[in-house]
Amino acid sequence: MSTLDLFDHGIPAEKHFGYTQAIRSGELIHVSGQLAFDDAGDFGPDGDIAAQLARTYVNLDKVLAHFGVTRNQIVSQTLYVVDLVRNAEVVAEANRAFFGSHRPVSTVLGVTELTFPGQAIEISCVVDTRLPA
């Protein structure tokens, strides 16, 4: 039996909600919804979708670095966006900037609210380690 490779940011929400940020299962890495929190676990800035996207992608990069993989190995992503109609172009622009020429499968869902007050974005993904970095 092999041990699981897990990653946590070390924020209180992980223990409070009982989850891990990412888990490697064979050649796949399943990444929980990444949020816009800082190194101290503080969430913010409230409602600022562009700033939250930037922080969320920083947190996603930390997960990828733990497993030694890159953005080019992300095969699918799901984005949960508050007020999607108003924020769609900002999300699309940030997504293109994050991935460059790589284009994973993507599902974008408009939601009325997310876990934390002021939270505007959450991004989960699946990574295939067999793909070239």
Residue type, 57: Y
Instruction: Provide the pLDDT confidence category of residue 1 given band limits of 50, 70 and 90.
Output: very low
Cα–Cα distance measured from residue 1 to residue 117, given in angstroms and rounded to the nearest whole number = 41
CA distance 12 to 97: 30
Output DSSP code: residue 71.
G
> 14 φ, ψ to 5°?
-60, -45
State the pLDDT confidence band at 2, using cuts at 50, 70 and 90: low
Q: How large is the greatest C-alpha to C-alpha distance in the chain, in angstroms?
A: 48
> How much is the pLDDT for 40?
79
The backbone torsions φ and ψ at residue 115, rounded to the nearest 5 degrees and listed phi first, read -60, -45
Please name the residues in contact with 34: beta carbons below 8 A apart, sequence gap of 6 or more: 21, 56, 57, 59, 60, 63, 122, 123, 124
pLDDT by residue (tens digit) across 38-94? 887 788 778 899 999 999 999 999 999 999 999 999 999 999 999 999 999 999 999
Domains (ranges, CATH) in the chain?
5-77+102-123 (3.30.1330.40)
Peptide bond just before 45 cis, omega within 30 deg? yes
Which pLDDT value is given to residue 47?
81
**Residue of 49, 72, 66, 65 whose CA lies nearest to 123:** 49
